[in-house]
Amino acid sequence: MAIPLPPTSNPAAPNPAPCLEDQEILAKFADPASRNVAFNQLVRKYQQKVYWHVRKMVIDHDDADDLTQDTFVKVWNHLGNFRQDASLYTWIYRIATNECLNFLSSKRRKFFLPLNDVGAELSAKVEADPGLAGDEIELRLQKAILRLPDKQRLVFNMRYYDETPYEQMAEITGTSVGALKASYHHAVKKVEQYVNEESHHD
């Protein structure tokens, strides 16, 4: 059994009001008189994307909310030094990604938890949240993904759910395109194996 296709976005969701272009946001942020307005525009443009990027990694809503806020605090503190050697989106995602990985690593060290125990805890949270669990197939997929190591899970989520180009993933993670392709390939094999095993147990 192959892993199912990722869900499409909700067609009934209202279209958000148009946001400023990144260059316009950066220009306004550079001016102290319009800095707060520019930052509010930036948050409105990227907050939901960052939240769901984080939520797929840490699962818990409160943790994801806290990490999203931490991400934008760092964006506020460092946006003035942004060199524009990558897109603003990529730079923000890099900060959010590091926040996620540091959070999961810290949690594991704090409670002396091996990878499998953290995965089991996150799986239990998925099962308890109907909005994340979805139908039976999606639940199996989510539980399979949570068995992956953190960085491999990150790669899988970005490629499978977000369809992020490998070149952009390389900028976000600091990993080569070749290594990312190999990581995603291995992740898909692991996920398919787990989903198949669960299907045979039914």
Among 82, 112, 142, identify where a domain stops: 112
Residue-range definition of the domain harbouring residue 197: 113-202
Residues 66/54, Cβ–Cβ less than 8 Å = no
Please state whether the predicted TM-score (pTM) of the whole model is above 0.75: yes
- Cβ within 8 Å of residue 21, ≥6 positions away: none
Range 173-182 contact pairs with CB under 8 angstroms and sequence separation of 24 or more: 173/94, 173/97, 174/94, 180/155
What is the reported pLDDT for 68? 96
Do residues 187 and 156 touch, judged by C-beta distance below 8 A? yes
Record the tokens describing residue 10, joined without a space. Answer: 């909700």
Last residue of a domain, one of 92, 112, 132: 112
Indicate if 94 and 40 belong to the same structural domain: yes
DSSP one-letter code for 147? T
Q: Indicate the residue among 83, 112, 141 that finishes a domain.
A: 112
Q: Are residue 134 and residue 54 in the same domain, yes or no? A: no
For residue 133, give the H/E element and its range: helix 130-133
Contact 68, 50 (CB under 8 A): yes
What lies within 8 Å, CB to CB, of 175 at 6+ separation is: 169, 183
For residue 84, what pLDDT is reported? 85
Per-residue confidence (pLDDT) for residue 131, from 0 to 100: 55
Question: pLDDT (tens digit, 0 to 9) for every residue of the chain, 202 residues total?
Answer: 444 444 434 433 344 455 789 999 999 999 999 999 999 999 999 999 999 999 989 988 999 999 999 999 999 999 999 988 889 999 999 999 999 999 998 877 765 555 455 455 555 555 555 554 455 767 778 888 988 999 999 999 999 989 999 999 999 999 999 999 999 999 999 998 888 876 665 5
User: Are residues 108 and 27 part of one domain?
Assistant: yes
Q: Closest Cα to residue 98, out of 184, 172, 181? A: 172
Q: What is the pLDDT of residue 15?
A: 43
In a domain, 78, yes or no: yes
Residue 180 lies in a domain: yes
Phi, psi torsion values for 152, nearest 5 degrees: -70, -35
Q: Is residue 179 domain-shared with residue 126, that is, in the same domain?
A: yes
Q: What is the pLDDT of residue 148?
A: 92
**Nearest by Cα to 172 from 49, 66, 73, 13:** 49
